[in-house]
Amino acid sequence: MENLHLKIKALRKEEGRTQEQVATVLGMTKGNLSRMEKGEVAISPERLSELAAYFGKSVEELAAYETLEEKVTKEERQDALSEMLRQRDERIRRMQQAAENYLYGLLGNHLIDETAERLKGKKNIKPAAERVWDTPGIEHLLNGENTSENFPMLEPFRVYRELKAKEKMKGFMEAVRAELGLSPDDPDPM
C-alpha cells in the first residue's frame, strides 16, 4: 500500500475536513495524525480500518484511491505516450515520403536515359520502369511498408516481379527438359 499516507491526506482534504476533526473522531491527537499523513509513523491495520470506515470506504478502496498528483501523473504519462506515438507516425510518414521521392527521382533519371538512347537511335531499349524495378535492393523500398499503401509504383512492381519469376521458372523448366532430353511437346516432367 504505497503512499497510503498521501492518500489519507488527499482524501481528508478532498472531503474538506481538518486534521483536528479527523483526529478527534478517531480518538488520536492532531500531531499523531499529522505524522501519519507525512509518512513518519506506520499505520497499524486497526487504525487503517478506522480511517477507511471514517471516510466511508473499504481498506481496499482506500489503498486504491488515486490522489490528484497520481491522477495528473497518469494523465501526463498518457499524454506523453500519445505524443510519442504521434511523433513516431510522423517519422514513418516522412520516411515513406523520402522513399517515394527517391523512387520518383530514380524513375525520372531512367526516363532521361531512355529518352537519350531513343534520340541516339538505339534499338531494344530497356524501359525506364524496368530499369527501376531491376535496381539492386529496390524490393526493400517497394515492399508496401516503406511507401504509402497507395503509392502508384507498388502494383506495377509486383506484376513485373511476378512476370520475371515466371520467366525464370520457364527458363528453369526448359533447362530441365533439355537435361532430360525432352522436347517442348513432351508432357511436363514435374
What CA–CA distance (Å, rounded) separates 11 from 7? 6
Mean pLDDT of the chain: 88
In terms of average pLDDT, the best of 54-58, 76-80, 85-89, 173-177 is 85-89
Q: Where are the domains of the chain?
A: 4-65, 71-180
CB atoms within 10 A of CB 90: 10
Contact 58, 52 (CB under 8 A): yes
Provide the residue type at 2 as one letter.
Answer: E
The CATH topology of domain 4-65 is 434 Repressor (Amino-terminal Domain) (1.10.260)
Res 84: pLDDT: 92
Res 86: pLDDT: 94
What CA–CA distance (Å, rounded) separates 97 from 190? 45
What CA–CA distance (Å, rounded) separates 54 from 25? 8
Mean pLDDT of 110-119: 94
Is residue 119 predicted with pLDDT exceeding 80?
yes
| 60-70 per-position pLDDT tens digit | 877 777 766 77
Mean pLDDT of 166-181: 89
Residue 118: band (very low, low, confident or very high) from pLDDT cuts 50, 70, 90: very high
DSSP tally for the chain: helices H, then strands E: 8, 0
Res 189: pLDDT: 64
Backbone angles phi, psi at 83, to 5 degrees: -65, -40
